[in-house]
Structure 1
């Protein structure tokens, strides 16, 4: 698989749709909050239910995926903490670095990219990755964001139980376990498929809108977290995938791809809500993290193109 094929087949479509969202934001007043709510509460849950209910993935593969997602987050938190201390970061900026490194954009970028690169198995694996990651975001992520403050993190941890995505996954697992999955030709499953499929372009449009609204005033300060996310993270993902020994090589490849996606947007909301937002050396934690998100997303197109080519050719796993 050549770099050109990897770009045109997987990364290129993401850039085109995200660019539409970016340019639209420049000429119109886009309410990204409403778009995000529709995606989070309707489109992604439908995608999750349909993908999991109809997937051929085994229970063992799903368990290994869960172990891998948790292991990746814990390892990257530790690596980022060490790297941050070495370069002199502390307090809320260190927390922002840890979140940037440990929480990849497995939703807005990961799901479309995985589907474009690896089809239905790629999409299902990415949805499962996102679901497990959300549990980490609202537990470990909240703890990291709120360290050193007197704000209650329990309220945000409870947010995980307000996300329809969690219940969609539970419902899909139950109907599969009970053998009650409707056939794909039924009106219910066809509706869920159509609604779920629409989440892909919507997520990419949201990504473009978010990038247009990102403050990029601190690019020079984000070299370390950017290197961690785009350089170290893929290597950690490869190591974990090889250690777990996935029976399905496509699941292993998607897992690695998800780990390598740019820094996610969700931790930014946690930093704004829970971290100390006073400026440290002229920069606040939200500015630090938002700039890292922008830098890793832009530069990540090159990294992801190369990685997709390697994964599709079977060079890595």
Structure 2
């Protein structure tokens, strides 16, 4: 693996930027409806990627449990830190939820999965998929609660979204196949063809996710840039430190799992909480910043600035300077 900053950038970060830029330019030239693409990725390609990655991974259950514990611990710690910092700085209640969501939930899917694969190979991709799965559960429970505070809307409808996502069932099915010893790769031609098809569909998720990231950035209306300093520092500065500390405490046996956990946690602010804020955030006055617009700006800023942060982290992790 490359052990220089330029090597880390070229092999892990530059491919992500290149595809995202194509999506950005395409959306600036053409009027593209992103929702259908997002639906295909969420309901077809990402579940296929999850099933194949988990069904074929050589990793044992111990590392999976540690990763799950790490994701839960990371989310809880970042929620507490962001909430404390926001209150200390006098952030309004309307924006406090957006600040916490931006700081606590990384873009572990659309950026994290491709980055983990480019940087750490098949094991990196598998762990990134598991990270995303656990985070989705946290987002649609704790995240919904944070987004809906101060409103009279019923958050249970969004919590039920967890059970509408095929990703959860793809992971459960793959885990069951492994536990029962009935993996599809049993040597038969039919099973091989099925797994090859699933793999092909799953592999298509990587470029699609990156194109969607670029298209979403093209839609961002940059506002309230001065207000994004705090969540940007928390997401790109504090979050990686918290992730390093958690990884050291958990003591992952496989260094690639530990490295993937850190890089996933360090990715920019996630986009799913934005949809929650749009649905649940309280009404604000005409002179106040809308929480959804605020989070949208944070997502843009952290995504752009993460290029340097992620390049440095990939270099540190690939060089084995920590793990």
Pairwise TM-score range, normalised by the shorter structure: over 0.9
2:298 partner SS: helix
Partner in structure 1 of residue 183 of structure 2: 181
- After superposition, the CA RMSD in angstroms is 1.0
Partner in structure 1 of residue 233 of structure 2: 227
Distance in 1 (alpha carbons) for counterparts of 2:45 and 2:86 = 37
- Conserved? CA contact 1:18–1:207, under 8 Å: yes
1:269 partner SS: helix
Give TM-score scaled by structure 1 length. 0.99
Partner in structure 1 of residue 320 of structure 2: 314
Shift of 1:277: 3.9
Partner in structure 1 of residue 79 of structure 2: 77
Shift of 1:19: 0.2
Shift of 1:227: 0.2
- Could you list the per-position Cα deviations for residues 225-264 of structure 1 after superposition, in whole angstroms to 9, with x for gaps in the alignment? 0000000000000000000000000000000000000000
- Could you list the per-position Cα deviations for residues 243-289 of structure 1 after superposition, in whole angstroms to 9, with x for gaps in the alignment? 00000000000000000000000000000101114248531101110
Unmatched 5+ residue regions in structure 2? none
Q: Give matches, 1:41-190, under 5 Å.
A: 41-183=43-185, 186-190=192-196
Distance in 2 (alpha carbons) for counterparts of 1:47 and 1:169 = 10
Give TM-score scaled by structure 2 length. 0.97
Partner in structure 1 of residue 203 of structure 2: 197
Partner in structure 1 of residue 9 of structure 2: 7
Unmatched 5+ residue regions in structure 1? none
| Structure 1 residue ranges, 4+ long, deviating more than 4 angstroms after superposition | none
Distance in 1 (alpha carbons) for counterparts of 2:130 and 2:92 = 33
Distance in 2 (alpha carbons) for counterparts of 1:226 and 1:86 = 16
- Conserved? CA contact 1:149–1:276, under 8 Å: yes
Distance in 2 (alpha carbons) for counterparts of 1:279 and 1:315 = 49
Distance in 2 (alpha carbons) for counterparts of 1:89 and 1:146 = 17
Shift of 1:180: 0.8
Shift of 1:316: 1.4
Partner in structure 1 of residue 308 of structure 2: 302
